[in-house]
Amino acid sequence: MTADTILPRPMGDIGILERRLERLRLERRGMPGSLDGRTDEPPWADLARSAESRADRLAGALGGTWIRGDGGGHVRIQPEPIRLPLDRDRIAALPDHPGPDVPLICLDTETTGLATGAGTVAFLVGLGWWLGDQFHQVQLLLPDQAGEPGMLDALADLLPPSGWLVTYNGRSFDWPLLVARFRLNRRPPPALAGHLDLLPFVRRVFGHRLSDARLKTVETELLGERRGHDIEGWEIPGRYLEMLRGGPVEPIAEVVRHNHEDVRSLARLMAHADRHLGAIGDRRSAPAGDLFGLARAYRRTRRDHDALDCLDAALEGPPRPIPTSPPGPTGPARRAWSTILTHRADAMDTEHPSPARLEMIVERARLLRRLGRHREALEAWRDVAHAGGPDAAFAWIEVAKCLEHRERDPAGALGACAAANRLAQRSRLLGRPLRNLEADLGRRRVRLGHRLSRVSATTSPAGSR
C-alpha cells in the first residue's frame, strides 16, 4: 500500500485553482480563434471593445468627436461660440484680477466624488476662453477611466503657460484634483501664470444680497438667468458610474449640459462685474452694499485710493435700492436676507443714518487716516460720534487722537474724552462694560490733564504766581 492510498489528496488553494482553470477552459472551448480551448485574444479585449463602443455612442449622442491618442481616447465636444464682450482693461482694475493681456481660461470639472484623493476622477472638464468678443467653449469627456492619460494630455495642450484659470471654488477643489490626477499618471501638471477664484470675490462683493454663494444662486439672484430643468450635483457621479457599468449613455447628456452652463456662467459673472463695477462712472449706479464690499476687497489688497472711491460713490447721491431678484426660495433664511436687503437699501438716509451707513463712514474714516487726510478723517469720526450707536464711544476716542496729535488742541481732545466717558458709563449701567475703552480713556485723560497744566503754567503772567 502506497502513501497515496493512505493519505487523501489535499484540497486547499491548489485544488480550487485547478477547478477554476478547468471551468475556464470549458467555457472557452469552441470559441472562434481558439486552439485547444485557448483564445489568442488578451483577457481585456472585450473591455476595450466595450469602451470603444461606448465612446462611439457618446460622440453620436452629444455631437462630439471621438479622439484616439497614445494615452487613451476621449470625446471632445465643441459648441458654437457666443458673443459675450469683456473689457479687459476695466476688468483688470478690479482687486485680484489679472492684467489686460493675460489669457483667461474658465474651467469647471465634473467628478466621481467630492473628495480630492486618489479615488476621485475628473471625467468631464469644461473650458472656455475669449477670442475678441466671442466666448469659445470645449469639453473633454472620458468614456472610460483607462483613457485618462490621453484626456490629461489634451487638457495640458489647451492651457497656455501664460494664462490664468477662472474658476468657482476651483482653488480648493477643481484644480487640486486635476493636479493630483496628473501626478498619479506620472505627468507634470500644467504650469499657469495665476488663478482667479470667483467664489471669494462673490462673497465679499455680492454676498450681502444673496441667499447663499452657490453658482446656481448667483445665476438666478445676481445675473437674472434661469437654466430651467437641470441635474443636481449629487446625481452626477451616479450617472457616470452607471454608464461605466453598461448603462445607457443618454443620461450623460444632462451632465454635459450642466457643465457647459457652469463654464458659461463664469464668463457671464466676469462680464457682469465688468459692466457694473469695472469703471468709476458705472459704480455710481451700483448698490451701496456692492460698493462697500468692493471697497473692502480693495483695502485687502492695499489699494486704498480705489477703496475710498468706492465708499465715496456709495455715500453720495440719492438712495439706490438693491436690484430685485427673481422669486427664489422662501423660509426663515430667505426672510432674514430680505430684511438685510431692505436695511441696506435705506443706508443712504443722511438725517437718520442706519448702521449700514455708519459702518461705511467708519471704514471711510479709517482709509482717510491711513492716506494722511487727517482733517477729513476728523470730520468723518465726528459724524459717527454725533450719530450715536455702538461705535460712538470709539469714534470720540478717534476724535480725541486727531485733536491731540494733529490739531494740537488738548482742550478739545479732553472734551472728546469726556463725551466718550459718558457713553462708557452709560454702557456700564446697561450691563455692557467697555473695559478696554475705559482703561484707554483713563490714561488719555490723565495725560491730557498734565499737558493742559503745563500749558497753563507756561502761559500765565509772571505777576500772578
Cβ(134)–Cβ(313) under 8 Å? no
Set of cell numbers at residue 350: 443722511
Please name the amino acid found at residue 206.
Answer: F
Q: Is the pLDDT score of 155 beyond 50?
A: yes
User: Chain-wide mean pLDDT for the chain?
Assistant: 84
Q: How buried is 310 (Cβ within 10 angstroms: 0-12 exposed, 13-18 middle, 19+ buried)? A: buried
Cβ(411)–Cβ(452) under 8 Å? yes
450-465 per-position pLDDT tens digit = 888 887 777 666 544 4
Sign of the Cα pseudo-torsion (164, 170, 172, 174, in order): negative
**Minimum mean pLDDT range among 61-70, 92-101, 316-325:** 316-325
Q: How buried is 185 (Cβ within 10 angstroms: 0-12 exposed, 13-18 middle, 19+ buried)? A: middle
Set of cell numbers at residue 6: 493512505
Report pLDDT for 454: 85
Q: Which residues contact 252 (CB under 8 A, 6 or more apart)?
A: 58, 61, 62, 141, 239, 240, 243
Q: Is the pLDDT score of 402 beyond 90?
A: yes
Please name the amino acid found at residue 44.
Answer: W
45: left (phi over 0), alpha (psi -120 to 50) or beta: alpha
DSSP state for residue 101 in the 8-state scheme: T
Report pLDDT for 356: 85
What pairs with residue 127 in β-bridges?
Answer: 107, 138
Please name the amino acid found at residue 390.
Answer: P
The DSSP bridge pattern shows strands 164-167 and 104-111 to be parallel
Set of cell numbers at residue 86: 469683456
Q: Which residues contact 207 (CB under 8 A, 6 or more apart)?
A: 213, 293
322-358 per-position pLDDT tens digit = 554 444 444 334 433 334 443 443 443 445 567 888 8
**Minimum mean pLDDT range among 30-39, 123-132, 262-271, 401-410:** 30-39
Residue 108's alpha-carbon distances to 154, 194, 383, in angstroms, are 15, 16, 47
Cα-to-chain-centroid distance, residue 381: 34
Q: In the CATH hierarchy, which fold is given to the domain comprising 66-278? A: Nucleotidyltransferase; domain 5 (3.30.420)
257 phi, psi to nearest 5 deg: -65, -40
107 phi, psi to nearest 5 deg: -140, 140
Cβ(169)–Cβ(107) under 8 Å? no
Query: How many Å apart are CA 15 and CA 59, to the nearest integer?
Result: 47
Q: Sketch the domain layout of the chain as residue ranges.
A: 66-278, 374-458
Residue 217 CB neighbours (<10 A): 16
Q: Is the pLDDT score of 97 beyond 80?
A: yes
**Minimum mean pLDDT range among 60-74, 148-162, 182-196, 390-404:** 60-74
Cβ(266)–Cβ(196) under 8 Å? no
Closest CA to 143 of 271, 51, 7: 51
More confident of the two residues 70 and 358 = 358
Could you tell me the pLDDT band of residue 284, with boundaries at 50, 70 and 90?
confident
Q: How buried is 328 (Cβ within 10 angstroms: 0-12 exposed, 13-18 middle, 19+ buried)? A: middle
DSSP code per residue over 252-265: HHHHHHHHHHHHHH
Cβ(106)–Cβ(266) under 8 Å? yes
Closest CA to 288 of 200, 356, 199, 334: 356
Set of cell numbers at residue 302: 492695499
Report pLDDT for 16: 62
pTM of the model: 0.79
105-137 per-position pLDDT tens digit = 999 999 998 876 778 999 999 999 999 999 999
23-61 per-position pLDDT tens digit = 666 565 544 444 444 445 554 445 556 778 888 899 999
Closest CA to 179 of 137, 125, 142, 233: 125
